[in-house]
Amino acid sequence: MEIEKKYLINLELSELSKYNNDKIVQGYISTDPVIRIRQKNQSFYITYKSEGLMIRNEFEDEISHKQYESLKPKINYNLISKKRYYIPISDTLTAEVDVFENQLEGLVMAEVEFASEEDANNFIAPNWFIKEVTYDPMFQNSNLCKQNNINFLK
């Protein structure tokens, strides 16, 4: 079970270099249901996600580089490339800040995962979180992969 909220943020990108980060490239074999392949640094995964916005089931398995490469030609739409930074925002919560590249360059979004729905509903966002987009399907990565440029935000 994945319980997460998403936010557009206002943060100086130059400040991100002090945080741990991962390079992520992902594509969608299907967007309905969501079946995603992902390269995270030198590891590879296939993920299934159920319907939902804040709460949904997620099943992820590690796959080999060879399996990833064999599935890559089967993706629909665009590959998403991003750098993910991990910023602690409390003793128990971390903001995963995604800085998108290529066709989505300019989009910067934070995700926060919670242990329970109650925790998510009681969350008070830091002041650099400027707009919650949890319930806007446009900001799900499975929809962002369909965009050819960041102008869709305007």
Work out the angle at residue 114's Cα, subtended by the Cα atoms of residues 88 and 43, and round it to the nearest 5 degrees.
70
Is residue 28 part of the annotated active site? The answer reads: yes
- pLDDT, tens digit, for every residue of 68-99? 999 999 999 999 999 999 999 999 999 999 99
Size (the chain), residues: 154
Alpha carbon distance 123, 99 (integer Å): 23
Contacts for 90 with CB less than 8 Å, ≥ 6 apart: none
**Tell me, what's the pLDDT at 104?**
93
Give the count of domains, the chain: 1
Domain range for 129 is: 2-153
Tokens linked to 41: 């640094």
**The tokens 């989009």 sit on which residue?**
107
What's the pLDDT band for 116 if we cut at 50, 70, 90?
very high
Residue of 7, 28, 68, 85 with catalytic role = 28
Identity of the amino acid at 97:
V
